[in-house]
Each structure stands twice: as structure tokens, then as C-alpha cells.
């Protein structure tokens, strides 16, 4: 009985690996552009954005967590909240390169993830991208420390698994393009919202203001850098997706 079980698990992973590492044809240009317009609509229409923004928050906090780990900080916890805010807690030196890099990573994270996704799409790995996102969400889940965060990551992960396992390649490819466009386009609006909140004196503990205290450079400078990086990722990612 155990042998059958292990064989079944092995078959599942073999199927996932084959699907993830096999290039698939890009969808028609009309589909690619339709996914771009759909992503733009989600970002622009505020009631829809308020729900979809949770995906950007997951990428934002995931970027904090990844850079904290890469720079030698100890990652303790990640929390995602229903108001689309989040918190990543890491331990280490309170100043220095690791703290600056970790703080900086959040707002640029979604755009850079979208840029990496765009590159995978250009190489034909749309299905591989979906499975890679599932794997990243699974790793993120290990450090989530609140119920809403668990719910958010699980919903996103299960949705991607269902698409990647049950739907046809053309549909999987379209979803991969939609997710990528949303990460690229959706990374810009939080930066604009951040500056609006700062202007209204409602974001004194924002990443930009923390960077100002860490580096001596004004918070507005860091908001400008966030905007430059996210817009740059959007332009380059769009180029990789649209231009043959």
C-alpha cells in the first residue's frame, strides 16, 4: 500500500516538473493585450483594486522576507492584514546594509517579481511560472503568523494550483500573462498611494520614512526611487512581453 502511495506522489511531482520545464507557445497577441487591459482595469477601478491589492501586499512582504534572509537577518514572522497592510519582522543589526536593503525591497518587490515573470513568459515558461509562484507561496506560508495572512496565501496558492493542474495550456498561459501584467502595473499604484498618505501625514512609519531615518536621505527621495524602479520594471517587462 505504501509503495502505491509513494508511486502516486512521484507521478504527481513528475507531471508538475514536466509541465513546469516544458515551454508552451505564447498566446495570440490579442490575448496578451486583453490580459494587459484586464490588469489595468483591476488596478484603476478602486473597489476591485481594494481586493486585488492583497496580491501586491503578499509580493511586498515576500520581498522584505527574501532580502532579509539573503542579507543574513533572521526572519521571524510575516503578517498580512485585511486592510491590505502587512508587516515583516526580522532580527539583526538595526542599521547597516541589511536593514536598508530589507526595508527598500518591499515597494519595488512586486514590480521586480513581475519583471522576472515577464522574462519567463518571453522564454515560453508560462506554466512553469505558475508552479514557481505556487512554490514561493508555499515557502512564504511557513513564516505567516496570523490567520488572515494564512487565508490570503492559501487562497492565492490554491487558485494557482487549480489553474496549473486542471485547465488547458492556453488558459494557463493566459492566466500567467494576466498575473504578470497585474504585478507590473499593480506595483506602481501603491507607491503613488504611499506619497499621498505621506503628504497627509498618515504614513510616518512608512518604508520611505524608515529609509530616511536609516540613510539621512529624505523620504521623498526614496518614494522617487520606488517609482523609478516600478515604472522601469513595467516598461521593460511590457517590452519583453509584447515585442517578439
Question: 141-198, pLDDT tens digit by residue?
Answer: 999 999 999 999 999 999 999 999 999 999 999 999 999 999 999 999 999 999 999 9
pLDDT of residue 9: 78
> Which CA distances in Å does 25 have to 30, 119, 126, 240?
14, 14, 9, 15
Q: Is the pLDDT of residue 3 over 50?
A: no
- Give percent above pLDDT 70 in the chain: 97
Q: For residue 221, count other CB atoms closer than 10 A to its CB.
A: 13
Residues 10 and 111: beta-carbon distance below 8 Å: no
What pLDDT is attached to residue 4? 42
pLDDT of residue 11: 84
**Contact residues for 241 (Cβ-Cβ < 8 A; gap 6+):** 32, 36, 118, 121, 122, 177, 180, 181
Q: Is 72 left (phi over 0), alpha (psi -120 to 50) or beta?
A: left
Cell 520614512 belongs to residue: 209
pLDDT in tens, 224-241: 999 999 999 999 999 999
pLDDT digits over 45-103, tens only? 999 999 999 999 999 999 999 999 999 999 999 999 999 999 999 999 999 999 999 99
Amino acid at each position: 500500500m505504501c509503495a502505491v502511495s509513494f508511486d502516486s506522489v512521484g507521478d504527481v511531482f513528475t507531471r508538475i516538473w514536466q509541465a513546469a520545464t516544458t515551454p508552451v507557445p505564447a498566446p495570440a497577441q490579442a490575448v496578451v493585450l486583453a490580459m494587459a487591459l484586464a490588469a489595468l482595469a483591476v488596478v484603476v477601478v478602486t473597489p476591485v483594486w481594494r481586493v486585488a491589492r492583497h496580491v501586491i501586499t503578499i509580493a511586498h512582504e515576500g520581498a522584505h522576507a527574501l532580502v532579509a534572509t539573503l542579507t543574513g537577518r533572521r526572519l521571524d514572522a510575516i503578517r498580512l492584514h485585511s486592510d491590505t497592510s502587512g508587516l515583516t519582522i526580522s532580527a539583526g543589526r538595526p542599521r547597516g546594509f541589511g536593514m536598508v536593503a530589507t526595508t527598500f525591497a518591499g515597494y519595488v518587490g512586486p514590480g521586480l517579481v513581475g519583471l522576472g515573470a515577464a522574462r519567463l513568459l518571453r522564454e515560453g515558461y508560462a506554466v512553469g511560472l505558475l508552479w514557481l509562484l505556487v512554490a514561493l507561496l508555499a515557502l512564504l506560508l511557513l513564516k505567516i503568523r496570523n490567520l488572515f495572512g494564512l487565508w490570503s496565501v492559501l487562497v492565492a496558492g490554491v487558485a494557482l494550483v487549480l489553474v496549473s493542474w486542471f485547465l488547458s495550456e492556453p488558459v494557463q498561459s493566459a492566466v500567467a500573462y494576466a498575473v504578470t501584467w497585474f504585478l507590473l502595473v499593480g506595483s506602481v499604484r501603491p507607491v503613488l498611494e504611499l506619497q499621498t498618505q505621506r503628504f497627509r501625514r498618515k504614513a510616518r512609519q512608512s518604508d520611505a520614512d524608515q529609509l530616511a531615518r536609516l540613510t539621512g536621505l529624505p523620504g521623498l527621495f526614496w518614494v522617487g526611487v520606488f517609482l523609478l524602479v516600478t515604472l522601469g520594471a513595467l516598461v521593460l517587462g511590457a517590452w519583453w512581453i509584447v515585442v517578439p
